Amino acid sequence: MSSIMMRIGILFAVLGFGSLVLEQFDYEFTLLSWATDMQPGFGIVLGLVGVALIGGSVAMSRAKAAPQPQQQFAQQPPAPGHPGGHPGQTQQQYPAQAPQQPGQPS
């Protein structure tokens, strides 16, 4: 779809802005000969519509190419220095829960 928008936008921009240039040399596009009385306004508007279509096509293609954000917060390991918890939480250890060192009697 964006490829078609891009092509139509380029066509409109070339016809619109090209008709402005050709008018200065007393030429015209045969396709736009019916709009001779409406120049230069018609050429400017047609060219701007073409530029808008090109911009929309580029924006759509960038949006498709951008990686979609995934919810990874449940899959991330805990931050260093915060065993088993989240980075903003402090973990309380009670004497009964203290880790046992090898060689110490329990």
Reported as a single tens digit per residue, the pLDDT across 63-91 is 888 777 666 555 566 666 655 555 555 55
How much is the pLDDT for 15? 95
Domain ranges of the chain: 2-63
Helices (H), the chain: 2-24, 41-65
Give the Cα separation of 41 and 20 in Å (integer). Answer: 9
Percent of the chain as helix, strand, coil, to the nearest 5: 55, 0, 45
- pLDDT, average across residues 83-102: 58
